[in-house]
Amino acid sequence: MDAAFTEEQHEIRRTLRELLHKRCGPDEVKAAVRTPPGYDEQLWHQLAARLGLPGLALPTAYGGVGCGPTELALACEETGRVVLPSPLIATAALAAPLILALGSERQRSTLLPALAAGEMTATLAVPGGRLATALALTGPNDGDWAGGGRAGGIQARQVPADGGGPATGRWRLYGEAGQVLNGHTAQLLVVAAHTGGFARSRTRLFLVRADAGGPAGLLRIRQTAMDETRPQARLELREVPAELLGEEGGDAAAVPGALAATGARAAAALAAEAVGVADAALARTVGYVREREQFGRPIGSFQAVQHRLADLYVALQAARSAAYYAAWSAGRGPSGGGADAAAHEAPEPGAGGLALAQALETLRAVAAEAVQLHGGIGFTWEHAAHLYFKRAACDELLLGPVHRLRARAAAEAGLFPQGTGTGAGAGDGPVVALRTREGAGA
């Protein structure tokens, strides 16, 4: 592995950092999250036009820049540095890779150029708030996480053609999904739903056009979230028209694999974003302890404070290395589209989830120390330190918990023998083993 970045990668980082530094101070971020969309739409279009940010990891054949997960991770690190509220993760890390991997040629050529140009945003809607499970980050995604044909979840059924006759390619979705990233503004929804009823249930992905007010039966409600920079929504679908992602009669068995491959790339991007947030929080804290005086000297001159900051710095560098490695691992193999694209890309098992766990844990530690070392002012909600603290708390709720990310990574890497919880209901066996070792002081 060559850890050195290319000049093009350095230029992506420099250009994005300069632009965000001018437009995304804490006050600008707080103002953007209180707008109806929850982010600065003008800035989003500027990032798309100047840098091609939404299409950074998409092939040039579909209007993208033609880069890969490493470049997307570097961009996410810079957006994390300013805690940028944007639909980047939802569009570029979740929805677009699934359309590229599973979509028909018509769907890819129609949707991906619009996503790459920033003309359209998209997101992945998973019922039950089980995004991490759907992406195979906290457990296997071959179970009933999308409803299993039972009550709840989201169900899909084919409807007859006009005038009767057998069911055609027309689908209707019924159900509910919460904690959908940017779900209240995304013009395109990639919805995970179950087909076939209880006896022959299987998970498929469907496309729902939500622009122009959305179809009849679709209700989108922005949820109140602790972290306002990560807007989420609840979707209620009542017989909503939908289109199957991919060809009718396609292989449903490809869906879990495509979701898992997308999860590996998304985990790398999210880990890099968390590293960027932690880096900014640590830099702000170091600057503060250099200036804040107590007992006639800067508090940063006290050895106890220096030791705490040094420990955070070491943890941050380790998390950064893990995030970069996960992005490099996710980018191995051909990056072309097609239904079997995800099968050709074989990242190292567990690398993405392990990097994400380490990044989230590091961010939580850095954010907590940032609040404490800022003293009384750090405990006020208005201070910028709480942008980092809220992101740390809510990302782990959305994508974790950390111990399940690690347990799943260990199971994927084959660290546990057969029969210790690596099957359905995953995580329980490895989690028990990890807790036992922790309790024993291993």
- Identify the pLDDT of residue 427: 43
Residues facing 122 on adjacent strands? 188
DSSP 56-70: TTS-GGGTS----HH
- Identify the pLDDT of residue 150: 56
Q: Which two tokens stand for residue 283?
A: 């830099």
Sign of CA dihedral 27, 29, 33, 39: positive
Strands 293-294 and 218-222: unpaired
Q: Look at the chain and count its residues.
A: 442
Cβ 280 vs Cβ 83: under 8 Å: yes
Q: Closest Cα to residue 266, out of 141, 415, 165, 419? A: 141
**Distance between CA atoms of residues 272 and 311, nearest Å:** 19
Q: What is the pTM of this model?
A: 0.88
Q: Closest Cα to residue 345, out of 336, 354, 353? A: 336
- Identify the pLDDT of residue 305: 94
For 69-128, how does the pLDDT look when each residue is reduced to its tens digit (9 = 90+)? 999 999 999 999 999 999 999 999 999 999 999 999 999 999 999 999 999 999 999 998
- Coil, helix or strand for 193? strand
What type of residue sits at position 180?
V
- Coil, helix or strand for 424? coil
Q: At what angle do helices 385-399 and 26-33 cross, to 10 degrees?
A: 50
- Identify the pLDDT of residue 269: 96
In Å, how far from its chain's centre is CA 311? 27
Q: Which two tokens stand for residue 292?
A: 């804040």
Under 8 Å CB-to-CB from 267, ≥6 apart: which residues? 135, 137, 326, 352, 353, 355, 356
> Which segments of the chain have a pLDDT < 50?
333-345, 419-442
In Å, how far from its chain's centre is CA 225? 16
Under 8 Å CB-to-CB from 324, ≥6 apart: which residues? 3, 70, 73, 272
Query: What number of H helices and E strands is found in the chain?
Result: 15, 9
| Domains of the chain, each with CATH number or no CATH | 7-117 (1.10.540.10), 122-251 (2.40.110.10), 255-335+349-413 (1.20.140.10)
- Identify the pLDDT of residue 384: 87
